[in-house]
Amino acid sequence: MAMRMSSLFLRTLREDPADAELPGHRLLVRAGYVRRAAPGIYTWLPLGLKVLRRVEAIVREEMDAIGAQELTFPALLPREPYEATGRWTEYGDNIFRLQDRKKSDYLLGPTHEEMFTLAVKDMYSSYKDLPLSIYQIQNKYRDEARPRAGLLRGREFIMKDSYSFDVSDEGLQASYDAHREAYVRIFDRLGFEYVIVAAMSGAMGGSASEEFLAVSAIGEDTFVRNDAGTYAANVEAVVVPQAAPVDASGVPAAHVEDTPDTPTIETLVASLNANHARSDGREWTAADTLKNVLVVLVHPDGTREPLAIGVPGDREVDAKRLEAQVSPAEVEAFEAKDFAANPSLAKGYIGPGVLGETRESKIRYLLDPSIAEGSAWVTGADEEGKHVLDLVHGRDFAADGTIQAAEVREGDPSPDGNGVLHTARGIEMGHIFQLGRKFAEALDLKVLDENGKLVTVTMGSYGVGVSRAVAAIAEGNLDEVGLCWPRNVAPADVHVVATGKNRERDGSVFDKADELTAAFEAAGLEVIYDDREKVSPGVKFKDSELIGIPTIVVVGKSLENGVVEIKDRRSGERREVAVDVAVDEVLAEVRQGRGAKA
* Near a copy of itself in 66-105, by CB under 8 A: 67, 69-78, 93, 96-98, 100-101
Question: For residue 143, what are the CA distances in angstroms to 154, 157, 263?
Answer: 9, 11, 39
* Residue 433 main-chain phi, psi, to 5 deg: -125, 145
Q: Give yes or no for residue 397 binding a copy of itself (CB under 8 A).
A: no
Least distance between a copy of itself and beta carbon 52 (Å): 8
Q: Does 143 bind a copy of itself (CB under 8 A)?
A: yes
Q: How far is the CB of 11 from a copy of itself (least distance, A)?
A: 4
Q: Is 119 in the site for a copy of itself (CB under 8 A)?
A: yes
* R_g of the chain, CA atoms, integer Å: 30
539 contributes a contact to a copy of itself by CB under 8 A: no
- Rounded CA gap, 395 and 375, in Å? 9
CB atoms within 10 A of CB 589: 17
206 dihedral zone (left: phi>0; alpha: psi -120 to 50; beta): left
Task: Compute the least distance from the CB of residue 518 to a copy of itself, in Å.
Answer: 17
Residue type, 252: P
User: Quick one: which of 326, 328, 388 has its CA closest to 353?
Assistant: 388
d(CA 113, CA 436): 12
Out of 139, 207, 275, 508, the only residue in the binding site for a copy of itself (CB under 8 A) is: 139
141 counts as binding a copy of itself under rule CB under 8 A: yes
Taking the complex as a whole, how short is the minimal distance between the CB of residue 349 and a copy of itself, in angstroms? 38
Q: Quick one: 400 or 449, whose CB is closer to a copy of itself? A: 449
Alpha-carbon distances of 331 from 94, 236, 274, 305, 481, rounded to whole Å: 15, 15, 37, 10, 42
Cβ atoms 254, 392 nearer than 8 A = yes
Contact between 122 and a copy of itself per CB under 8 A? yes
CB of 42 to a copy of itself, least distance (A): 7
Residues 179-238 within binding reach of a copy of itself (CB under 8 A): none
Kindly tell me which of 118 and 350 has the beta carbon lying closer to a copy of itself.
118
In this structure, how many other beta carbons lie within 10 angstroms of the beta carbon of residue 75?
15
Stretch that binds a copy of itself, among 136-144, 359-367, 388-396, 523-531 (CB under 8 A): 136-144
Q: Give φ, ψ of 156 to 5 degrees.
A: -120, 125
* CA distances to 90, 188, 536 from 483, in Å: 40, 19, 21
**Residue 450 touches a copy of itself, criterion: CB under 8 A:** no
Say whether residue 115 binds a copy of itself (CB under 8 A).
yes
CB atoms within 10 A of CB 432: 25
Give min distance, CB of 477 to a copy of itself, in A: 22
Scanning residues 42 to 61, which ones bind a copy of itself (CB under 8 A)? 42-46, 48-49, 52
Under the binding rule (CB under 8 A), the answer on residue 483 touching a copy of itself is no
The 330-333 sheet, strands edge to edge: 330-333, 290-298, 304-312, 364-367, 401-402
Candidate residues 2, 22, 108, 233; the one interacting with a copy of itself per rule CB under 8 A: 108
Q: Which residues contact residue 499 at a Cβ distance below 8 angstroms, ignoring those fewer than 6 apart?
A: 506, 509, 537, 540, 554, 555, 556, 557
501 near a copy of itself, judged by CB under 8 A: no
Cβ burial of 81 (10 Å; 0-12, 13-18, 19+) is: buried
CB of 50 vs a copy of itself, minimal distance in Å = 9
Using CB under 8 A as the binding rule, whether residue 32 contacts a copy of itself is answered as yes
Tell whether residue 106 is a contact of a copy of itself (CB under 8 A).
yes
Give min distance, CB of 121 to a copy of itself, in A.
11
Query: With helix as H, strand as E and coil as C, how does 84-95 read?
Result: HCCHHHHCHHHC
The distance of closest approach from Cβ of residue 41 to a copy of itself in the complex, given in angstroms and rounded to an integer, is 5
CB of 333 to a copy of itself, least distance (A): 19
Q: Name the segment binding a copy of itself (CB under 8 A); options: 35-43, 292-300, 399-407, 549-557.
A: 35-43
Per CB under 8 A, residues contacting a copy of itself are 1, 7-11, 32, 35, 37-38, 41-46, 48-49, 52, 64, 67, 69-78, 93, 96-98, 100-101, 106, 108, 115, 119, 122-124, 132, 134, 139, 141, 143, 145, 155-156
